[in-house]
């Protein structure tokens, strides 16, 4: 066939109505168009393009540069499109169509100043959260997936949270808002509504009559928190008069402590984290797990030092940090019994003096360099079996954020109130006390926490309980002895196993009891202490974290 014949054939053969020549032209043009379109689209899918306008460059980009998505130990960087544009073509095109609205508002100058941007920040964030929720956090899954996780390398808390999220069908954005930009979700309640403005309350500890008057001087910026409290000589810990009551030798005891295992307990600085705080999702990421039955220790054992560092430095849940205050106190606990008495031995390093800047002289409790407290639950107090002493600490207690102007209350149990406000300030239930007859019935039913507190100033033990309020007397009469030697405090507490006094828990073989500890170090008072998470106490029980062995 001649060339003219071939050309004529190509012109006569048709594909979908077009000749072969026409189809070829359309095909080549399509490739050129598609290549140009895709090149243009990818050009808008680069970090440089995303931050080419000052609205992004001067606001969210600067925040993102401070996060682990921008810089980390492995050098993996998640750029703007990695987090805000899906990878697959269909969802990518849909996202680009949505972005046309952002171009429109850029032309209008809707957020062209920092003030305008901040005014719109929550609205913009909500749009993105809703989009992530609708597409099952598709962009997050560009890099992250449940299947790709190595739970054994995660912290205990992360393991449990991811297990629950997977079981409940949750998506990444449900828990991980604010990971690359300003955490505006903290301004919302659990229902996504703006939190009401907190009322002006007394958040600084009222100074007792025995203490010097409070100073009006402003609180200075917090100093870096030490990694661990260094032991200090007894002479630098407290005035001699305050420690004179403590014996100069180790506490006398019939127990051979060398035969009793030590339980290492890390007490951490809790800041302003009361019962209502731990149940409020925007404040506490573990609220969902706690409501589902998780214990505080189930998520937080092993990370107490890190938690304490955030709060002692004022990074989280603390508005009046004490410069230099230790983030945590490492303590060892031993327990033994003789069939009649339970004896516990505590040992921890003395803290260096870090004066409270809002108290003249720096000492909230001049008479007591140290106080050690212990609470015991027999399983009848709401949530105490999982949270320990947190059931007694509320956001409207004295020195807490929602305390009334008059100073507030001390400790109380949720069951002694007709209601507990968890979300809207003032949180708590101090003004919602049940009638006296109902309170008596609760006490008779065993709804209380047994309380022991040793005070270094008198080297004596207060034996009481917590119910509708904190009562510091009336118990069986526990005894104790403590000393400060070689930079360490050693305290022994002795109480009867069985008691018929109101507010006393009788400890029986075969049962486990939830206990929690608190140390007021360096003359502190009220909430400025270090606390433990929940632990289980038992008699000759291998299942108990703190096992009282018989001697």
Model pTM above 0.85: no
The fold for domain 234-550 equals: Immunoglobulin-like (2.60.40)
pLDDT of residue 244: 42
Question: With 90 as the cut, is the pLDDT of residue 7 above it?
Answer: no
**Least reliable range by pLDDT among 148-162, 233-247, 253-267:** 233-247
> Residue 460: what are its φ and ψ, rounded to 5°?
-135, 165
> Residue 188: what are its φ and ψ, rounded to 5°?
-115, 155
The percent helix, strand, coil of the chain (3-state, each to 5) is 30, 20, 50
- Please count the other Cβ atoms lying within 10 Å of the Cβ belonging to residue 9: 12
> Which helix (H) or strand (E) segment is 470 a member of?
strand 470-471
Structural tokens at position 123: 């609205």
Interval 193-213 mean pLDDT: 47
CA distance 295 to 512: 15
CA distance 519 to 529: 6
Question: With 70 as the cut, is the pLDDT of residue 394 above it?
Answer: yes
Question: With 80 as the cut, is the pLDDT of residue 302 above it?
Answer: yes
Interval 447-473 mean pLDDT: 97
* Closest CA relative to residue 374, chosen from 486, 513, 273: 513
Interval 512-520 mean pLDDT: 97
CA distance 329 to 265: 8
pLDDT of residue 51: 87
pLDDT of residue 190: 65
pLDDT of residue 194: 73
Contact (Cβ atoms closer than 8 angstroms) between residue 295 and residue 202? no
Contact (Cβ atoms closer than 8 angstroms) between residue 523 and residue 369? yes
Query: Residues 483-499: pLDDT tens digits?
Result: 999 999 999 999 999 99
Residue carrying the six token digits 């006569």: 12
Question: With 60 as the cut, is the pLDDT of residue 277 above it?
Answer: yes
Structural tokens at position 127: 């749009």
Per-residue confidence band for 279, with pLDDT thresholds at 50, 70 and 90: very high
CA distance 64 to 56: 10
Contact (Cβ atoms closer than 8 angstroms) between residue 534 and residue 386? yes
* Closest CA relative to residue 537, chosen from 519, 522, 549: 549
CA distance 271 to 255: 36
* Closest CA relative to residue 341, chosen from 246, 477, 442: 477
Sign of the C-alpha dihedral, residues 153, 72, 135, 114? positive
Residue carrying the six token digits 């069951």: 415
**Least reliable range by pLDDT among 50-54, 273-277, 317-321, 338-342:** 50-54
Mean pLDDT of the chain: 84
Taking CA 327 as the corner, what is the angle to CA 323 and CA 328, rounded to the nearest 5 degrees? Answer: 145
- For the chain, the C-alpha Rg in angstroms (whole number) is 31
CA distance 5 to 147: 62
User: Which is more confident, 220 or 401?
Assistant: 401
Coil, helix or strand at residue 439:
helix
User: Which is more confident, 540 or 163?
Assistant: 540
β-bridge pairing 488-496 and 479-485 = antiparallel
Interval 271-286 mean pLDDT: 92
Burial 193-228 (b: 16+ CB within 10 A, else e): eeeeeeeebbbbbbbeeebeeeeeeebeebeebbee
Residue 541, judged by CB atoms within 10 A of its CB (0-12, 13-18, 19+), counts as middle
Question: With 90 as the cut, is the pLDDT of residue 54 above it?
Answer: no
Interval 60-81 mean pLDDT: 89
Residue 414, judged by CB atoms within 10 A of its CB (0-12, 13-18, 19+), counts as buried
Question: With 90 as the cut, is the pLDDT of residue 528 above it?
Answer: yes
E strand segments, 188-317: 263-268
User: Which is more confident, 298 or 305?
Assistant: 305
> Residue 322: what are its φ and ψ, rounded to 5°?
-100, 115
pLDDT of residue 32: 67
Query: Residues 170-189: pLDDT tens digits?
Result: 899 888 888 888 888 877 76
pLDDT of residue 229: 38
Per-residue confidence band for 348, with pLDDT thresholds at 50, 70 and 90: very high
- Top mean pLDDT of 34-48, 282-296, 316-330 is at 316-330
Contact (Cβ atoms closer than 8 angstroms) between residue 401 and residue 204? no
Per-residue confidence band for 215, with pLDDT thresholds at 50, 70 and 90: very low
pLDDT of residue 485: 95
pLDDT of residue 23: 59
pLDDT of residue 449: 97
Interval 243-267 mean pLDDT: 75
Distances (CA, A) of 70 to 63, 65, 87, 142: 10, 5, 19, 16
Contact (Cβ atoms closer than 8 angstroms) between residue 418 and residue 434? yes
Question: With 50 as the cut, is the pLDDT of residue 511 above it?
Answer: yes
* Closest CA relative to residue 306, chosen from 469, 487, 474, 158: 158
Please tell me the number of Cα atoms within 13 Å of 193 on its side-chain side: 5
Sign of the C-alpha dihedral, residues 219, 223, 227, 229? negative
Structural tokens at position 53: 């306008």
Question: With 70 as the cut, is the pLDDT of residue 12 above it?
Answer: no
CA distance 173 to 171: 6
Q: What does DSSP assign to residue 209? A: T
Q: Give residue limits of the domains in the chain.
A: 3-43, 49-187, 234-550
Question: With 70 as the cut, is the pLDDT of residue 242 above it?
Answer: no
Query: Cβ neighbours of residue 486 under 8 Å, at least 6 residues apart?
Result: 231, 234
pLDDT of residue 175: 85
* Closest CA relative to residue 474, chosen from 447, 504, 454, 494: 504
Interval 274-281 mean pLDDT: 92
**Least reliable range by pLDDT among 1-10, 64-73, 383-392, 442-451:** 1-10
Contact (Cβ atoms closer than 8 angstroms) between residue 482 and residue 488? no
**Least reliable range by pLDDT among 98-112, 220-234, 531-545:** 220-234
pLDDT of residue 150: 87
Percent of the chain residues past pLDDT 70, beyond the cut: 82
Query: Residues 115-147: pLDDT tens digits?
Result: 988 888 888 888 888 888 999 998 898 888 888
342: which strand partners?
337, 495
Percent of the chain residues past pLDDT 90, beyond the cut: 48
Per-residue confidence band for 100, with pLDDT thresholds at 50, 70 and 90: confident
Interval 247-265 mean pLDDT: 79
pLDDT of residue 307: 95
Question: With 80 as the cut, is the pLDDT of residue 206 above it?
Answer: no
């Amino acid at each position: 066939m001649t060339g003219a014949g071939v050309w004529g054939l190509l012109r006569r053969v048709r594909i979908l109505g077009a000749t072969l020549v026409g189809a070829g032209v359309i095909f080549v043009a399509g490739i050129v168009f598609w290549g140009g379109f895709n090149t243009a689209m990818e050009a808008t899918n680069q970090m440089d393009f995303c931050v080419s306008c000052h609205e992004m460059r001067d606001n969210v980009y600067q925040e993102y540069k401070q996060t682990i998505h921008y810089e980390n130990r492995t050098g993996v960087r998640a750029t703007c499109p990695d987090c805000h544009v899906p990878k697959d073509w269909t969802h990518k095109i849909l996202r680009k169509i949505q972005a046309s609205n952002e171009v429109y508002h850029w032309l209008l100058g809707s957020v062209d100043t920092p003030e305008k941007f901040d005014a719109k920040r929550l609205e913009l964030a909500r749009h993105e959260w809703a989009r992530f929720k609708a597409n099952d956090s598709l962009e997050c899954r560009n890099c992250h997936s449940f299947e790709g996780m190595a739970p054994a390398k995660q912290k205990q808390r992360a393991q449990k949270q991811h297990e629950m999220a997977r079981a409940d069908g949750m998506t990444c954005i449900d828990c991980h808002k604010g990971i690359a930009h300003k955490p505006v979700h903290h301004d919302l309640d659990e229902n996504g509504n703006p939190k009401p403005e907190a009322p002006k309350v007394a958040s600084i500890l009222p100074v007792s009559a025995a203490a010097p008057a409070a100073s009006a001087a402003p609180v200075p910026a917090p100093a870096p928190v030490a990694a661990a409290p260094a032991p200090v000589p007894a002479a630098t810990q407290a005035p001699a008069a305050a420690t004179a009551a403590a014996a100069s030798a180790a506490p006398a005891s019939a127990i051979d402590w060398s035969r009793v295992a030590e339980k290492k307990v890390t007490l951490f600085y809790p800041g302003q984290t009361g019962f209502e705080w731990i149940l409020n999702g925007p404040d506490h990421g573990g609220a969902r797990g706690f409501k589902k039955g998780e214990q505080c220790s189930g998520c937080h054992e092993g990370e107490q030092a890190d938690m304490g560092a955030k709060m002692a430095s004022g990074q989280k849940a603390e508005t009046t940090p004490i410069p230099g205050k230790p983030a945590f106190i490492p303590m060892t606990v031993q327990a033994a019994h003789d069939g009649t008495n339970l004896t516990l031995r505590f040992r921890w390093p003395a803290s260096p003096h870090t004066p409270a800047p809002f108290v003249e002289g720096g000492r909230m409790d001049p008479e007591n360099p140290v106080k050690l407290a212990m609470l015991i639950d027999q399983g009848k107090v709401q949530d105490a079996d999982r949270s320990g002493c947190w059931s007694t600490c509320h956001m409207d207690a004295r020195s807490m954020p929602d305390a009334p102007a008059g100073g507030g209350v001390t400790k109380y149990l949720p069951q002694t109130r007709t209601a507990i406000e968890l979300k809207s300030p003032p949180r708590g239930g101090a003004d919602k006390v049940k009638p006296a007859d109902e309170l008596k019935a609760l006490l008779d039913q065993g709804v209380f926490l047994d309380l022991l507190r040793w005070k270094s100033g008198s080297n004596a033990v207060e034996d009481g309980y917590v119910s509708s309020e904190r009562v510091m007397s009336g118990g069986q009469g526990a005894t104790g002895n403590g000393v400060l030697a070689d930079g360490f405090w050693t305290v022994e507490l002795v109480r009867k196993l069985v008691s018929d006094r109101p507010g006393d828990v009788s400890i029986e073989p075969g049962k486990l009891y939830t206990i929690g500890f608190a140390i007021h170090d360096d003359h502190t008072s009220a909430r400025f202490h270090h606390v433990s998470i929940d632990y289980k106490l038992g008699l000759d029980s291998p299942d108990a974290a703190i096992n009282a062995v018989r001697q």
